[in-house]
Amino acid sequence: MPRSRDGGDALPPRTLPEPLALETPWIWRPHQLPGETLTVAIFLRLVGIVFVLAFVSAGVQIAGLSGPDGILPARDYLAAVADHYGLARYWLVPSLAWLGSGTTALHALCVAGGLCGALLAFGVAPLSSTLGS
């Protein structure tokens, strides 16, 4: 019997319950579940699609929500946080908007988020996309 990494006996391969094994041989090899690699790849691509949709939606609405004439302007909000909390503001309100909170900067953040989501969806940069978003 093969040994696991820690030196103990390896577990036998996982198998599907008999009714499922008979109904799904066209998806998986007979009586064998897919590995985590396939599951992670599919999951990350779906998360990337959700990121793209979320950032596109935010990009369409960001000027009216957080732009200079929006419902809650990001510049005013961040100024109030800075006045009240001082340097702790970066810890309490972590945001790339500290670098710039005008309409162009907010749109640029939405484009950058959408690009990271697209990279994740296409499997180009899965690790950097998940860490950056």
Domain ranges in the chain? 35-132
Q: Which amino acid is at 120?
A: L
pLDDT at 8: 57
pLDDT at 41: 82
58 exposed, middle or buried (CB, 10 Å; 0-12, 13-18, 19+)? middle
**Residue 64: which of 51, 53, 73 has the closest Cα?**
73
**Residues 70/63, Cβ–Cβ less than 8 Å:** yes
pLDDT at 84: 96
pLDDT at 81: 96
pLDDT at 29: 53
Say how far apart CA 34 and CA 25 lie, in whole Å: 12
Predicted structure pTM score: 0.66
Residues of the chain with confidence (pLDDT) below 50: 1, 129, 133
pLDDT at 133: 43
Say how far apart CA 47 and CA 61 lie, in whole Å: 21
pLDDT at 47: 92
